Every structure is written in structure tokens, then in C-alpha cells.
């Protein structure tokens, strides 16, 4: 059975998942890489779109709407008494020399970039990463220099996006292998509870395929930009239930007469 048929079978058939315990470890590892790749597709697509949209929004904002500003000696100064905000195609740009806007406010905006009084903040998916200007010794930026920097970044999008995508994929793959390994350990408890005779290597293979249903569900939700509460708990509960059902598909060992 090819790997894509296994993907479909693993969505609804614990019996097939139980059967997959006999296959080679190499094919199972390949399956984990495939499942990881599918799971990060929405993230990569939205990240690429947000980067392009964000750069365009920032450039337009700085050219047409932002007051004159400069970043010097670790602080932002600008010809405005109030924060200035620009929202376009789901991306928000902030300019605030007053200290009114916080990193949390930027995170609440979703996809956003902010030049604040003492730091710049990049936000995506409700999380924000602040970077103090003081980290970059000798930083001296004004409107035109930032536009030139944005143009340079825009010209490197063909390199930046693949590099970030590879990093996301490698990190997600490592997380997936750790998760499968932990699920297989839980499987040792489940197989003892149900009286089945299985080794850890069998359970590792079964655990990999048991991750299919929750992974595809959350991938679809991410593609639809739908927030699911208690993601971590739901993911583990569903995976454990699927693994338990697969274990129960394995016949009990016959008792000696």
C-alpha cells in the first residue's frame, strides 16, 4: 500500500493502523515527514502572504501617511503627538513614539509590525516578539532608510521565504517525532491494560499513523483560519483514542492450555 493510501486509511480505519505495525521503519519515518509537511502548509502559505502584504503595507504607510520619524540612540522620535496606525489586507503597521502602544496591543492586532518608543515588534497569530532598538548598536533609521530596507527585503523574498519555510519544517518535524515517541510510550500502558502483546517498535509505527486524524483536522482548521480551543488537549486525546482503538484490533494472545 502506498503512502497516500495509508494516509486515507489512517483517517478512519484503526484496523489498518494496527496492520501497519509490520511495515519497515523507513516507510513510517517517511510518513511522519509527509504528515508534518501537510500540517505546516497553511502556516507557510499565510506567512508568505503576510510577508508580501506586510512589506507593501509598510512601504505605502511610510511613504504616504507616516510622519517624519527617526530611530537614534535606542529611541524612536516622530512628528506626532499620538500613535499612528495603518491596516491593510489583514496587516497592521504601528508607529508610536509616545509609549502608548504595548507589545501586547500589537499581538492583539494579529499580523502586525510596530515601531514603538524603545523597540520594534513583529506579531503573527496573536504572539509578539519585541526587539529593543538598544540591541542594535549604532542603529540610525529614518523614513527613507526604512523604505530602502523594505525594498531590499522585498527583493530577497524568493530567498527569505524558502529559508524560513525550511526552518519551520525542520522544527515541526522534530516536534512530530518527539510527539510520536511519547504517544508510543503511552501505547505501552494501553497495550498492558488491554492485554495485547506488542513491542515498542510496533507501537511507534502505530502511533505515527494514529496522529493522522488530529493532524489533518487542525490543518483544515488552520487553513480556514478557525481557532480551536484546547488544541493541545484535543490533539492528544484524539491521538490516544485512535491508538487505543488500533491496539484493540489486535487479537489477544491465546492462553496456554
pLDDT tens-digit series, residues 148-158: 888 888 888 88
pTM of the model: 0.77
pLDDT at 238: 97
Q: Report the phi/psi class of residue 99: left, alpha or beta, with left for phi > 0 and alpha for psi in -120 to 50.
A: left
Q: What is the mean pLDDT of the chain?
A: 88
Given pLDDT bands bounded at 50, 70 and 90, which one contains residue 126?
A: low
The DSSP result for 218-234, as a single string, is HHHHHHTT---TTHHHH
pLDDT digits (tens, 9 = 90+) for 186-227: 999 999 999 999 999 999 999 999 999 999 999 999 888 788
Please name every residue paired with 123 in a beta bridge, in sequence order, or none if there are none.
Answer: 112, 128
Cα atoms found within 13 Å of the Cα of residue 147, Cβ hemisphere only? 13
Q: What is the pLDDT of residues 163-186, one digit of tens each?
A: 989 998 999 999 999 999 999 999
In three-state form (DSSP H/G/I as H, E/B as E, the rest C), the secondary structure along 52-112 is HHHHHHHHHHHHHCCCCEEEECCEEEECCCCCEEEEECCEEEEECCCCCCCHHHHHHCCEE
Amino acid at each position: 500500500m502506498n503512502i497516500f493510501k495509508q494516509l486515507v486509511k489512517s483517517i478512519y480505519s484503526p484496523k489498518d493502523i494496527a496492520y501497519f505495525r509490520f511495515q519497515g521503519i523507513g516507510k513510517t519515518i517517511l510518513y511522519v515527514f509527509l504528515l508534518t509537511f501537510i500540517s505546516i502548509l497553511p502556516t507557510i502559505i499565510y506567512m508568505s502572504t503576510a510577508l508580501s502584504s506586510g512589506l507593501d503595507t509598510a512601504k505605502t504607510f511610510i511613504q504616504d501617511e507616516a510622519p517624519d520619524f527617526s530611530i537614534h540612540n535606542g529611541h524612536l522620535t516622530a512628528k506626532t503627538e499620538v500613535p499612528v496606525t495603518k491596516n491593510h489586507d489583514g496587516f497592521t503597521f504601528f508607529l508610536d513614539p509616545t509609549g502608548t502602544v504595548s507589545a501586547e496591543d500589537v499581538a492583539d492586532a494579529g499580523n502586525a509590525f510596530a515601531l514603538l518608543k524603545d523597540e520594534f515588534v513583529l506579531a503573527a497569530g496573536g504572539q509578539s516578539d519585541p526587539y529593543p532598538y538598544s540591541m542594535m548598536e549604532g542603529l540610525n533609521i529614518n523614513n527613507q532608510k526604512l523604505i530602502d530596507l523594505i525594498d531590499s527585503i522585498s527583493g530577497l523574498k524568493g530567498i527569505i521565504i524558502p529559508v524560513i519555510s525550511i526552518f519551520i519544517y525542520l522544527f515541526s518535524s522534530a516536534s512530530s517525532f518527539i510527539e510520536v515517541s511519547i504517544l508510543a510510550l503511552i501505547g505501552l500502558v494501553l497495550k498492558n491494560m488491554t492485554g495485547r502483546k506488542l513491542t515498542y517498535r510496533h507501537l511507534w509505527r502505530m502511533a505515527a499513523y494514529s496522529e493522522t486524524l488530529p493532524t489533518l483536522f487542525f490543518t483544515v482548521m488552520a487553513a480556514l483560519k478557525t481557532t480551536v480551543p484546547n488544541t493541545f488537549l484535543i490533539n492528544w486525546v484524539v491521538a490516544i483514542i485512535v491508538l487505543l482503538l488500533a491496539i484493540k484490533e489486535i487479537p489477544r494472545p491465546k492462553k496456554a492450555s
